[in-house]
Amino acid sequence: MLPGQKHPVQHDVTMPAIELQKVSVRYDQTVALDSVTLRLNRGDRVAVVGPNGAGKSTLFHVIAGVVRPQEGQVRIYGSGPGGHICVGYVPQRKVIDWDFPVTVTDVVMMGRVGKMGFLRWPSRHDRDVVRAALDEVGMSAYANRQIGELSGGQQQRVFLARVLAQEAELLLMDEPLTGLDMPSQEVILSLIDRIQRNGVTVMVASHDLNQASEQFPLILLLNRSVIAFGPPDEVLTTANLLAAYGGHMHVVRADNGDLLLADTCCSGGAEMLLPTLTHVTAPVIQSVPQSAVEEMRPPR
Ligand code: ADP
């Protein structure tokens, strides 16, 4: 092994990609995760949904090995978290310092550190991998630009290139679509799709329940504990959504199903439109501003 090179944890490919047993995390008095048990197989694609403060980011931190739970057990391919160079974690855009002076190539090369070690210069192979990754996400033309100069969608593409360069086997993305326009969202979703089809296990935190149910075969509905986990039509039931979102949702009953009105995570929110309900098995979820939900709530 070369100087500075990390000793990667060996994978047991017969084990689940992620296995959490009764994992609890507290920050002082705040319970962020409460006895979370979860098992994902290699190649699973999961949307993690739940209200603000539900513990989505904490769950990713636990899997990435940067937060240690007070209780419970975490296993990534059969061994403890941390030291896995296969985990590609893309944090929320708002927690990244976009003024930090690094180029697009630098950011993608960071994905190679686990393979090449901190004290080594990138080899020709490392540079080739980085070039190929940028090409794959359509960002080669921006290789020498400062990361902070790019649009939100382009920045997410660069982070996906970093995940490709890392040859990650587990991709954790914290709200990658928040704040992006629809075309950019579609580009990111199709890149995630392509990465997952290569056998990468993917977890994406999302605030958009409709998009999660359309784009992801599995949904983890979280509110500190696991409310439900499985296919969208089993998870996104009115009862489960009310259990997760409580007072932040309002249910409108109709003959052909439920229309759920949810307050949006972000300011602004979408126009409140009542869609025509045609074939509703899972509830239709419409994001509206908090104020509109408050107005619709019956007086106590
Ligand atoms: P989500 O990503 O679903 O919004 P988080 O995992 O960020 O949820 O947060 C879960 C809870 O833990 C929240 O109440 C949040 O305020 C709290 N929390 C998260 N990180 C910290 C921290 N570093 N210190 C103290 N409290 C935290």
For the domain with range 18-230, which CATH number is right: 3.40.50.300, 3.40.50.10420, 3.20.20.10, 2.60.40.10? 3.40.50.300
Cα of 10 vs centre of ligand 1, distance in Å, is 31
Q: Report the residue among 30, 59, 63, 172 best suited for mutation to probe ligand 1: largest number of ligand atoms under 8 A from its CB.
A: 30
Q: Report the residue among 58, 66, 95, 245 best suited for mutation to probe ligand 1: largest number of ligand atoms under 8 A from its CB.
A: 58
Check pocket membership of 157 for ligand 1, CB cut-off 6 A: no
Which of 166, 222, 170 lies closest to 192, judged by CA?
170
Orientation angle between helical segments 124-136 and 152-166, nearest 10 degrees: 140
Check pocket membership of 172 for ligand 1, CB cut-off 6 A: no
CB-facing half-sphere around the CA of 235: CA atoms within 13 A: 25
- Which has the higher per-residue pLDDT, 9 or 269? 9
What is the reported pLDDT for 249? 66
Does the pLDDT of residue 216 top 60, yes or no?
yes
Query: Side chain identity at 257, as an amino acid letter?
Result: G
Does the pLDDT of residue 297 top 60, yes or no?
no
Least confident segment among 15-19, 121-125, 250-254, 268-272: 268-272
Check pocket membership of 45 for ligand 1, CB cut-off 6 A: no
- Which has the higher per-residue pLDDT, 248 or 239? 239
Cα of 102 vs centre of ligand 1, distance in Å, is 28
Cα of 56 vs centre of ligand 1, distance in Å, is 8
Contacts with 5 (C-beta within 8 Å, 6 or more apart), sequence order? 116, 117, 120
Least confident segment among 9-13, 153-157, 172-176, 227-231: 9-13
- For the chain, the domains span 18-230, 237-296
Q: What percent of the chain has pLDDT over 70?
A: 77
What is the reported pLDDT for 300? 45
How many secondary structure helices (H) and strands (E) does the chain include?
A: 10, 12
Check pocket membership of 121 for ligand 1, CB cut-off 6 A: no
DSSP label at 51? -
Tokens of 6: 């990390």
Cα of 167 vs centre of ligand 1, distance in Å, is 29
Check pocket membership of 30 for ligand 1, CB cut-off 6 A: yes
